[in-house]
Structure 1
Amino acid sequence: MTKTEKKRSKYINYRQVKTLNCNIEHKGEQEQGKNQTLAKNRAKTKTLVFLRLGKGLNDRTDVTADLTVRRGSEE
């Protein structure tokens, strides 16, 4: 990670990461083509979550959260 990425990752809204994590599987079902594969890959047990603050999963991402998330961790 570069310096700027480290700085950015400090300001990630972790609540938002949780909700994204909850919605990953549903997104995978709704999406089609390339986006669907990406969403399914994100839904695997250990994932690197990419997100741009204030945006959804499908946007191009330039902020990287170094988080490994588990599917169903909110249950």
Structure 2
Amino acid sequence: HWREVHRFAGAWTGLVGGIQRLMVNGKTFQNLAVNFTQHNTVVYDGLPCPSNENPCHNGGVCLPLLNSYLCKCASSYNGLHCEF
């Protein structure tokens, strides 16, 4: 167990945000709930992008934002769901 990040590790403490996948040295950590709850961190377990259909039209890509999503539109489209 460590409490500090080495200054040359390329990481910082005090994260404000979310982690969807944790990979260290090519190894993906599958059970994030166990690891994070030990450090007073809550694991988000929801679907940021609807799984049944893509809300982004015209080739837009759904980007998760914890409890919401953002559509990244193709260059010739815009709008909340890339509809224009």
TM-score (norm 2): 0.26
Flag the structure with more relative contact order, 1 or 2, with Cα contacts below 8 A and sequence separation at least 6.
1
TM-score (norm 1): 0.28
Structure 1 or 2: larger strand share? Answer: 2
